[in-house]
Structure 1
């Protein structure tokens, strides 16, 4: 409640008017400590005929008055409820029928399992991606038979089957009209929380009164609760920086407590993966509003709010749908799906029976069968086709949980909430995926929190040894008229172009063969569960932080012709997908463009079982390099490679140097056995005369020398003859 006439509201009471009848609650004397009314249920008999036409039904008028000194009782807030249809009920209906079995509430279990053989431990993100249907990111999670969860594309309050989480009590905005001294329009000055049930009474005094409503009510005193806020990620945030990006971080406000997570901002992204868990204590209903805001980090200026969302924790705690902690698919005592509720499933089921006013559940013997609400359930009915694993708990609790999931309660979930700005309240500033668990401390300690820390990339190294090339296009013509190429090989991983590496040059290849024995080493950060490389780099030199990208692991190999006095000539290339590797040929004769998927005559267009280098670890063979000429793909050459994936620890145990540098081992690379004609003519004039000029023009040289000697002989002879 906002202040009235510069004085705070300290002792309020509520007046309810309907059809000329008035009823008033007791006064809340300790408003700051406990804003709940001491008497929760009031009965108002309206002596008139409630018309079936809604427009003729009298409204319910709520007035909050504040009891002030000297008998002053000003009206500090008012609300008029025109539509009463939503409150009509059958008093003989069981209260708990409002918690019906909701269709479609169970999580869809995907049966498709990724065929890639990736050895990686499952985590919470595997569960999240499996629930989204992104099997390529969840690894072997589904194959192990683990649970999935429900990912809602809206706020939990907007899910139709949960009735806005106002099934127990609704929230009514209290307004204050204009006074003589005020020119402002009526504004919201507070909230009233409560609910109404409207039903007819018999005119016959001999007919017993129908059962009273609101029989099972929680305690009216404040409850101290432990609140866990799980912030998974944000989607499509509004840019706040000049580069069209944002540096988001989370700020949480609950009551008088504020958690500022500024130190863990995510640079240069509109779709950050936060994976943050915040744990706060609060008293409900005083601290009912949980505010989750996303801010943009700025170094030199004030941080700007991107948007925020507000969650009413009291509604979630009091809702009969159990929104305070979602129910998982199975009861697990360990692992990524470990039970985190304060009560066991059997205890929650007993509470449900109490709310419905029915006998408590009866569990038979070993817990394989259970009777609840007049129906018998068997564990075999729920787990007939499921995969058993070592994390499952006792059969008794598993069966109770399966029965609970049939009662329409909120399942384990992630909700997607819209972030709004106070300046543009109707325009989305992005979305945040998260969920909240609320644990009353009176029920004991909760289970351990979920670890939703974002996945961290592992360091891997790709060792690529270039052994030889053959059938390389002879792109140049020597000074003596021979077709030749000065061959070298270049390689890099996409996204890491700054780490391009190339071999030395095999000069004057006259038959397209090249010998190198040269090692490339590429270090990269890799997420095995998502099968993507994580690349971080600054987009501009003035950027303070690096931007993170995720790219598939690939290797590009190119063959070039070296030119000293002009640009090098491109002769061919091949792109090797390390997760879907083209099987190499064992000999150069079997190596052709048909090995490349999509090429005419290729037999590898469809491969049901891809070859992953991360599974094979090492492979050696010949791959074709192609180039485009006159709109057609032609063979530019063939390259013999050894590809090997090693982890960081193995790299330390089995070191190797780039090229033929030390430590030259694993394996040791000897200098290539190149022909004598392989040299650069400009820097070796003697070899040029011996291996180029002499070998090609030796006959001409010999004839010229003989001819010169003959001419010299006859010249001396004629010179020696006596003059007549």
Structure 2
């Protein structure tokens, strides 16, 4: 069955209804078999609304009208009354409307919306607000509460929607509808009219903000305490705001001694603050309803949002006549003008951002937009990362509610092409400013007047508590002179109940303020926090583009200057230098056999820090070691950047030669020492190695006899084994080589390891190897045996220490034999002449 829903001039849509089939043997009662239901109405394949309808198909036999149901009374020529069993049961219902204001209204027919009013329709009833005289300067309605009395069905599914229409009052009597909204579900606004509500507190809060406008609240004594009188105690250099953050997320290895000092942690939410259930979406004051254009001139629906309506509804049944009407749920709010506020945006880090470059990474940076103000942080982009640590704080001033939408966008930096947006998130600052959960500035755990947890709110906790008492129409809080006891809302609070097991450090403020803060935290207000917001893209609105962790502080300038901002600048690595002096080796494996048959090795030592393999260094060669001993007196110098708080080294290098930026890598501080056998005409032979963790250093042996492979067993060492605390250590370490799944001793090396900070590098200079400046300590040339030389470059020494020493008796014998042969040769050569001369005797 097709159902056409037509207006006066044009069709609005159609829906398909499956009727209930009624056979003759069934009961003829129409009301027992039908039930109204909502069916979708479509037009040209698109949704055009819903229709509440029910249909029944009755089988009629020829000439038999007895089994047909009775026809209900007529309402018109072709219209009948709905039977009583199907018609919904209605009751007189009150709809209270809190009309706070309109926001972000777009132009209509090339003209800006200047004088709008709001029409609220439901169940055939209509009510209209007063006209906003100057929407550009003051977008709130002059009156804030409207009331409708409507006959609404008791069953929620039959309830008609609430229709909102924004009408702009233009010259010559033109009143076009510039935006509209349909609210289908009314159940969320139903309430018990006799149950106490928090609207009294909300109205009082608006009155407090209004009264504070134009007044400046400055506490000179406290301001001096915060800024000048308190001298901040010198803290451990490893403690900063990031220590607080890592301590809060459970990464205790990066927070250093922060927790041991008893400092505050903060609440890290894994979602937006508006999505935290206990804060009711920060819409406890009023909700935001998106307005749409509706049908355009070409009869097409425009899905774009053209504005927002700020308000709320309360729906409750009214009693019968003669009974007292329930009290109104909304109170008339005082008119609140634009508030000038200081906004601080803290962007901590990004998480799993969407890649934008061909290497699967991106170069993200932050862009802030608030009203007409824009902050472009393009110069501080983070190269080649999907999880950047931004650590950026931005400070802006704005007028609420005229500039309420704070947009935080992440862009990908590109040198040759246009920067591409990764995603953005939008925060409604007005909701946070007006919420009774006081989300403008989260409450820390303790009240500190110095240090990294210094109080940054404009008012002290006791002043906030007094304002809260006024909003709730309670007696002002009473605090004892010593600040150990406080009475508020009929309850007694004691400081010792909150700080019984807490660490009392030098940054804590007065006891009365600490106790007032503890009482405020018990009221369910927003704590000091970091929220995780999802980034969205207009091209793919349903696909998250990553997340950012951040928070926002809002300070109305009418309440004076706020405290100092948090310093969340990313940690900067400090420059260190590791000096390794290789003195000697012993018991090194003799890996080669000389031409004379002797076991020997041409020993040298190589070293580097893992993560910085490009800075490998090696000693000179101790040639022809016949007993495994080697003498070097050689210095390695490894410069590195180190984060003491995270106990990690940082190195930046280009992944490929065509990359424009370097990629940052983090790795633990270690040093690898290897012993090698030098070969001139083949690859060098690896003899053994040892890797030393500078944070958990293996204690060296004092003598080579005590140095063994047992030292390599992974026994847990105490904190004093860190080279950063010892500064310098000297001794023997074993170098192992793996053979057949087992570790064998490849040699022992005597070294001095020394950590030098940047200042000491200039005060105590040293050169690599034995180069100048050869000091700290000065390294003399090693006292190597005469047999240590390279045979190819020293032929005389080769003859003396290799050939002569090994074959000297052979040479002596050969010389003696040569002399004998020479003597005999001369003898035999001269013997005939001598004999002939004897026979002839020529001179006789």
Task: Assess same fold via TM > 0.5.
Answer: yes
Equivalence for 1:131: 248
CA displacement at 1:540 relative to structure 2: 1.5
CA displacement at 1:188 relative to structure 2: 2.2
CA displacement at 1:608 relative to structure 2: 5.1
Q: Do the aligned partners of residues 540 and 294 (structure 1) sit closer, same or farther apart at CA in structure 2, a change above 3 Å counting?
A: same
1:167 correspondence with 2:284: yes
Equivalence for 1:141: 258
Equivalence for 2:479: 363
Equivalence for 2:173: 71
Equivalence for 2:106: 2
Equivalence for 1:46: 149
Distance in 2 of aligned mates of 1:218 and 1:38: 9
TM-score by length of 2: 0.80
CA displacement at 1:492 relative to structure 2: 0.8
Report SS of the residue matched to 1:196. Answer: strand
CA displacement at 1:336 relative to structure 2: 0.3
Equivalence for 1:711: 821
Report SS of the residue matched to 2:375. Answer: strand
464-473 vs 627-636, which deviates more?
A: 627-636
Q: Do the aligned partners of residues 594 and 143 (structure 1) sit closer, same or farther apart at CA in structure 2, a change above 3 Å counting?
A: same
Pick one of 462, 465, 475 that aligns with 1:346.
462
Distance in 2 of aligned mates of 1:420 and 1:98: 37
Equivalence for 1:582: 698
Report SS of the residue matched to 2:313. Answer: coil
CA displacement at 1:719 relative to structure 2: 4.1
1:292-311 aligned within 5 A: 292-311=408-427
Pick one of 795, 811, 833 that aligns with 1:701.
811
1:134-283 aligned within 5 A: 134-203=251-320, 207=324, 209-215=325-331, 217=333, 219-283=335-399
Q: Do the aligned partners of residues 349 and 677 (structure 1) sit closer, same or farther apart at CA in structure 2, a change above 3 Å counting?
A: same
Q: Would the aligned equivalents of 2:132 and 2:140 in 1 still touch at CA under 8 Å?
A: yes
Equivalence for 2:564: 448
CA displacement at 1:80 relative to structure 2: 1.9
Equivalence for 2:115: 11
Equivalence for 1:479: 595
Equivalence for 1:640: 750
CA displacement at 1:45 relative to structure 2: 4.2
TM-score by length of 1: 0.93
1:315 correspondence with 2:418: no
Report SS of the residue matched to 2:786. Answer: coil
Distance in 2 of aligned mates of 1:337 and 1:296: 33
Q: Would the aligned equivalents of 1:18 and 1:46 in 2 still touch at CA under 8 Å?
A: no
Distance in 1 of aligned mates of 2:639 and 2:334: 60
Equivalence for 1:89: 191
1:684 correspondence with 2:801: no
Q: Would the aligned equivalents of 1:95 and 1:356 in 2 still touch at CA under 8 Å?
A: no
Residues 471-528 of structure 1: per-residue CA shift (max 9 Å, x gap): 1111111111111111111111111122111111111000110000001111111000
Distance in 1 of aligned mates of 2:516 and 2:265: 19
250-259 vs 631-640, which deviates more?
A: 631-640
Q: Would the aligned equivalents of 2:670 and 2:694 in 1 still touch at CA under 8 Å?
A: yes
Matched pairs, number = 698
Q: Do the aligned partners of residues 652 and 272 (structure 1) sit closer, same or farther apart at CA in structure 2, a change above 3 Å counting?
A: same
Distance in 1 of aligned mates of 2:200 and 2:524: 10
Q: Do the aligned partners of residues 551 and 98 (structure 1) sit closer, same or farther apart at CA in structure 2, a change above 3 Å counting?
A: farther
Equivalence for 2:215: none
CA displacement at 1:222 relative to structure 2: 1.2
1:494-505 aligned within 5 A: 494-505=610-621
Equivalence for 1:107: none
Pick one of 681, 698, 716 that aligns with 1:565.
681
Distance in 1 of aligned mates of 2:599 and 2:238: 55
Equivalence for 1:330: 446
Q: Would the aligned equivalents of 2:199 and 2:331 in 1 still touch at CA under 8 Å?
A: no
Equivalence for 2:21: none
Q: Would the aligned equivalents of 2:191 and 2:316 in 1 still touch at CA under 8 Å?
A: yes
CA displacement at 1:254 relative to structure 2: 0.4
CA displacement at 1:25 relative to structure 2: 1.1
Distance in 2 of aligned mates of 1:242 and 1:272: 18
1:651-662 aligned within 5 A: 651-662=761-772
Equivalence for 1:35: 139
Q: Would the aligned equivalents of 2:577 and 2:755 in 1 still touch at CA under 8 Å?
A: yes
CA displacement at 1:708 relative to structure 2: 2.6
Distance in 1 of aligned mates of 2:618 and 2:760: 24
Equivalence for 1:285: 401
Higher relative contact order (CA 8 A, sep 6+): 1
Pick one of 663, 667, 672 that aligns with 1:547.
663
Q: Would the aligned equivalents of 1:132 and 1:151 in 2 still touch at CA under 8 Å?
A: yes
Distance in 1 of aligned mates of 2:722 and 2:430: 51
Distance in 2 of aligned mates of 1:255 and 1:395: 42
1:456-471 aligned within 5 A: 456-471=572-587
Report SS of the residue matched to 1:615. Answer: helix
Q: Structure 2 unaligned runs (5+)?
A: 1-104, 203-234, 837-844
1:612 correspondence with 2:722: yes
CA displacement at 1:6 relative to structure 2: 2.7
611-620 vs 242-251, which deviates more?
A: 242-251
Report SS of the residue matched to 2:145. Answer: coil
Residues 380-413 of structure 1: per-residue CA shift (max 9 Å, x gap): 0000000011111111111111111111111111
Report SS of the residue matched to 1:95. Answer: coil
CA displacement at 1:32 relative to structure 2: 0.7
Q: Would the aligned equivalents of 1:99 and 1:321 in 2 still touch at CA under 8 Å?
A: no
Equivalence for 2:731: 621
Residues 519-567 of structure 1: per-residue CA shift (max 9 Å, x gap): 1111111000000111011111222111111111110111111111222
1:59 correspondence with 2:176: no
Equivalence for 1:80: 182
Distance in 2 of aligned mates of 1:449 and 1:211: 45
Q: Do the aligned partners of residues 533 and 146 (structure 1) sit closer, same or farther apart at CA in structure 2, a change above 3 Å counting?
A: same
Report SS of the residue matched to 2:522. Answer: helix
Report SS of the residue matched to 2:135. Answer: coil
Distance in 1 of aligned mates of 2:695 and 2:397: 47
Report SS of the residue matched to 1:644. Answer: strand
Distance in 2 of aligned mates of 1:461 and 1:312: 50
Q: Do the aligned partners of residues 394 and 97 (structure 1) sit closer, same or farther apart at CA in structure 2, a change above 3 Å counting?
A: farther
CA displacement at 1:50 relative to structure 2: 5.7
Q: Would the aligned equivalents of 2:145 and 2:332 in 1 still touch at CA under 8 Å?
A: no
CA displacement at 1:185 relative to structure 2: 3.8
Q: Would the aligned equivalents of 1:10 and 1:66 in 2 still touch at CA under 8 Å?
A: yes
Distance in 2 of aligned mates of 1:693 and 1:513: 22
Q: Would the aligned equivalents of 1:177 and 1:187 in 2 still touch at CA under 8 Å?
A: no
Q: Do the aligned partners of residues 680 and 185 (structure 1) sit closer, same or farther apart at CA in structure 2, a change above 3 Å counting?
A: same
Distance in 2 of aligned mates of 1:606 and 1:521: 28
Q: Do the aligned partners of residues 215 and 442 (structure 1) sit closer, same or farther apart at CA in structure 2, a change above 3 Å counting?
A: farther
Q: Do the aligned partners of residues 656 and 539 (structure 1) sit closer, same or farther apart at CA in structure 2, a change above 3 Å counting?
A: same
482-491 vs 197-206, which deviates more?
A: 197-206
Report SS of the residue matched to 1:327. Answer: coil
Report SS of the residue matched to 1:682. Answer: coil
Equivalence for 2:128: 24
1:366-381 aligned within 5 A: 366-381=482-497
Q: Do the aligned partners of residues 98 and 636 (structure 1) sit closer, same or farther apart at CA in structure 2, a change above 3 Å counting?
A: farther
Distance in 2 of aligned mates of 1:605 and 1:99: 62
Q: Would the aligned equivalents of 1:97 and 1:356 in 2 still touch at CA under 8 Å?
A: no
Distance in 1 of aligned mates of 2:153 and 2:460: 46
Equivalence for 2:18: none
CA displacement at 1:244 relative to structure 2: 1.7
Distance in 1 of aligned mates of 2:337 and 2:423: 33
